[in-house]
Amino acid sequence: MCAAVSVLTTLGIVVVLLSQARGFFQEVSLVEFFTDTRWTPLFEQKHYGILPLVSGTMLVAAGSALVALPVGLCTAIYLSEYAAPRFREVVKPVLEILAGIPSVVYGFVAVVFISPIIREIFPSADVFNAASASLVVGVMILPMVISLSEDVLGSVPQALREASCALGASQFETIVRVVVPAALSGIVASFLLAVSRAIGETMAVTLAAGATPNLTLNPLESIQTMTAYIAQVSMGETEHGSTGYNSIFAVGISLFVITLLMNLLSQWVLSRMREKYE
Amino acid sequence: MSEQSAVRRQRRKRLAARSFEWLCLTATFLCIIVLAALLSGIIYRGAGWLSIEFLTNGPSRFPDQSGVKAALIGSVWLIGLTALISVPLGTGAAIYLEEYARPGILRQFIQTNVSNLAGVPSIVYGILGLGLFVRTLAIGDTVLAGALTMSLLILPVVIVAAQEALRAVPDSIRHASLALGATRWQTIQHQVLPAALPGISTGTILALSRALGEAAPLIAVGALAFVSRYPLGPMDKYTVLPIQIFNWTGKPQHDFQNVAAAGIIVLLGVLLCMNALAVFIRYRYGKQIRW
């Protein structure tokens, strides 16, 4: 009965996206979609190559991972291995606040606070740039990396730590050589989930990263991500049934497939780890 | 190896260990400092713009006359309708999965499905809502379409939370009830559900607070950014707080950014109240039941 709704939702997503995207692919060939390096559906000269949007998305995702993964992992290690229980009890709720802040707030922070600082340091940067978006998205996925990594670090059996210390290893050696490698697959899974969230993030990148589909690796330039394109088109007055309107479903289905693959991959990695210790 | 170099190696090792611990501690404090800087920056920009008029004015072309009234009421409508739709559905699905479904391929399939749905980007729900509710069912860009879309978005979260709450009810309660001659449904209705209620409501409130801060899917289903009047029924046009903030942030005038900051303070205030309510329920009612 009710559980059917969840299955129906999945089916709904696939069916709606596919049927609308089919209209798009009748006008634009798959070859053009995947190989053209320009994405200009709203201009006179229309080009539908998804590569600039994908590169924009990946640029922001990679940038945010660069921020969130090292800081997140170090924080998780500190909380799980070094911190006194009372310190942990205070810090964890604080980090949960960070997780509860809506993404539009991060977008505001990127535009109002981060972007001026970046332009101060690099005068050549665009007003809207990938770097400011990456930074805030990085902060956004930070709580996720921390809590998931800390969970897996905590689930490493205490016996392993004791055995390592009994063999004469210091606490540092135990952490780096025993605990982290033992939890590695779980940590990788948490990284994948966090990056998948960064890929799907919409509001912050729509506000901060700009609206210029741009095949570039320079984080100081204005770019557009897949999510931001969908938001931009659906906000505007694009005619229902036009190629421009249908294109958001084509982009949406690409986005859906990418994040689904990453989530499945992370579940697979995690399930492999569980077998090892139970 | 000479004794001296052994000592030096020992010292270097200790230094590495010490600096690693400091590195990790620094990372932890970095997170806290970022949060503090973020909140204080927003309060610094927005606090001066917060006033009673800000809560009672509608949107305006002039920053000093702008307010959040229409957006706030729109948010209340949206969250109310979303709760009405998603709570029965989510709880129902959880009851089915936990109480009725036998372990097997079907249950496994639904479970995997639910957890994967939780990872779908919110904007994808938005275009699903656009294709399904706004166009195909022709509901238009109304509060109802927004609430239906939002319900789909938070449904996986509600289901998982309700499942956990149901799982926490010990089997002995069920067995006792069944042994006294109650039917399966009577057992669920009179024993299991009341016992799981605090857990279910806590999870639901947290899911709804996520819906409150979410803007991306609503952009797709057409929550208008400039609505001067608030919705009176489920078929009215509407806007919500995050969309209003998004709109103000995107304006070029400097003052509108301060208005946006003030809007963010209101939004965070509402979210804080909802989370406090969830924590309150967990502590107040969670402790009454002892097994």
Helix axes A243-277 and A226-235, enclosed angle (nearest 10): 140
- B124/A1 touch (CB, cutoff 8 Å), yes or no: no
* CA gap B121, A202 in Å, rounded: 8
Mutating which of B89, B124, B275 best tests the A interface, going by the most A Cβ atoms within 10 A?
B124
**Which residues of chain B make contact with A225, given a CB cutoff of 8 A?**
none
Cα dihedral across residues A160, A162, A166, A170: positive or negative: positive
Give the number of C-alpha atoms closer than 13 A to the C-alpha of residue B102, restricted to the C-beta side.
1
* CA gap B234, A60 in Å, rounded: 37
Please name the residue of chain A whose CA is at the shortest distance from the CA of residue B88: A2
What proportion of chain A, given as a percentage, has pLDDT over 70? 90
More confident residue, A239 or B137: B137
What stretches of chain B show up as alpha helix (H) in DSSP? 3-46, 52-56, 69-95, 105-117, 122-129, 143-167, 171-179, 184-187, 193-213, 216-220, 241-249, 254-286
Domain of residue A221 covers 55-277
Helix axes A226-235 and B122-129, enclosed angle (nearest 10): 30
* CA gap B90, B79 in Å, rounded: 15
- A71/B31 touch (CB, cutoff 8 Å), yes or no: yes
CATH 1.10.10.10 for domain B54-286: no
CA–CA min distance B69, chain A (Å): 19
| CATH code for the domain of A178 | 1.10.3720.10
Q: Are A77 and A180 in contact (CB under 8 A)?
A: yes
Residue A215 reports pLDDT greater than 60: yes
Q: Is A39 helix (H, G, I), strand (E, B) or coil?
A: strand
The domain spans of chain B are: 3-49, 54-286
What are the tokens at A141?
């996925």
What are the tokens at B140?
């238009």
Of B27, B91, B159, the CB nearest to A6: B159
| Residue A84 identity | A
More confident residue, B204 or B51: B204
| Residue A222 counted as domain residue | yes
Would you state the pLDDT for residue A71?
92
Number of domains in chain A: 1
Residues present in chain B in total: 291
Residue A278: band (very low, low, confident or very high) from pLDDT cuts 50, 70, 90 = very low
| Residue A28 counted as domain residue | no
* CA gap A12, B9 in Å, rounded: 63
Which A residues, 120 through 149, put their C-beta within 8 Å of a C-beta on chain B?
139, 142, 146
pLDDT tens digit string along B87-118? 888 888 888 888 887 777 878 878 877 888 88
Residue A274: band (very low, low, confident or very high) from pLDDT cuts 50, 70, 90 = low
* CA gap A118, A122 in Å, rounded: 6
More confident residue, B182 or B290: B182
What are the tokens at A149?
């990594």
* CA gap A196, A135 in Å, rounded: 16
| Residue A45 counted as domain residue | no
* CA gap A75, B231 in Å, rounded: 45
pLDDT tens digit string along B160-191? 899 989 988 888 888 999 999 988 888 988 88
Residue A42: band (very low, low, confident or very high) from pLDDT cuts 50, 70, 90 = low
Of B24, B92, B123, the CB nearest to A74: B24
What proportion of chain B, given as a percentage, has pLDDT over 70? 93
- A16/B131 touch (CB, cutoff 8 Å), yes or no: yes
Of B82, B128, B220, B141, which Cα lies nearest the Cα of A9? B128
**Which residues of chain A make contact with B75, given a CB cutoff of 8 A?**
none
**Which residues of chain B make contact with A248, given a CB cutoff of 8 A?**
127, 220
- A200/B121 touch (CB, cutoff 8 Å), yes or no: yes
CA–CA min distance A32, chain B (Å): 23
- A13/B120 touch (CB, cutoff 8 Å), yes or no: yes
Of A2, A104, A255, the CB nearest to B96: A2
* CA gap A75, B287 in Å, rounded: 32
Which A residues, 86 through 115, put their C-beta within 8 Å of a C-beta on chain B?
91, 94-95, 97-98, 100-105, 107-109, 111-113
- B31/A98 touch (CB, cutoff 8 Å), yes or no: yes
Would you state the pLDDT for residue A72?
92
| Residue A46 counted as domain residue | no
CA–CA min distance A261, chain B (Å): 10
- B123/A230 touch (CB, cutoff 8 Å), yes or no: yes
- A82/B25 touch (CB, cutoff 8 Å), yes or no: yes
